Amino acid sequence: MELLRNLKTIGMMTLIAVGLAACDKPGPAETAGKRIDQTINDTGKQIGEASDKAAVKMAEQSEKAGVAIDDAEITTKVKAAIFAEPGLKTLQISVDTVNGVVSLTGSVNSQPNSDTAQALAGAVAGVNRVENRLVLKPVN
């Protein structure tokens, strides 16, 4: 009886040892798991790189949009200043702003009015330069 019990114990220990030894060897599930982990890591890196590139593009576009908004704001302020000035006819003066450079076009009835329009445009915050292309209307 004791011998049978000892043989059972030895058999069980042998099965356990073989089972444990088999666990050390990577099986299909472990290999697949490692591949999945590697794919997830690679995909994470690719997503990170793509999001970095997207962030750079968005920053560039925001910067461009910021310039456009600033130019539109400058144009509006210059037009308001010209409109508020007595003697200047706003409908005859066009204002355009590109990268902080204000272009005045149209016609005025005197050189002092042209100079005033240029001075008003130059006084607006954000204006880098004023290109005065205003022409004098002939006096009738």
Domain boundaries, the chain: 28-136
- Mean pLDDT of the chain, nearest integer: 76
Q: How many residues appear in the chain?
A: 140
3-state secondary structure (DSSP) of residue 113: helix
pLDDT tens track for 70-98: 889 999 999 999 888 887 765 689 999 99
The separation between CA 36 and the C-alpha centre of its own chain, rounded to angstroms, equals 33
Helix axes 111-122, 28-84, angle to 10 degrees: 150
Give the pLDDT score at 39. 73
- Contact present, 96 and 105 (Cβ < 8 Å): yes
All residues at 6 or more sequence positions from 130 whose CB lies less than 8 Å from its CB, including other chains: 101, 102, 103, 104, 118, 121, 122
Residue 25 gets which letter from DSSP? S
| Residue range 100-109, pLDDT digits in tens | 999 999 988 8
CA 123, CA 126: separation in Å to the nearest integer? Answer: 9
Q: Measured between alpha carbons, how far is 84 from 80 in angstroms, rounded to an integer?
A: 6
Tokens of 40: 């997830």
The answer on pLDDT for 12 being more than 90 is no
Residue 138: predicted pLDDT: 76
pLDDT at residue 62 greater than cutoff 70: no
Tell which CATH architecture fits domain 28-136: 2-Layer Sandwich (3.30)
pLDDT one-digit tens code per residue, 18-31:
555 555 555 666 77
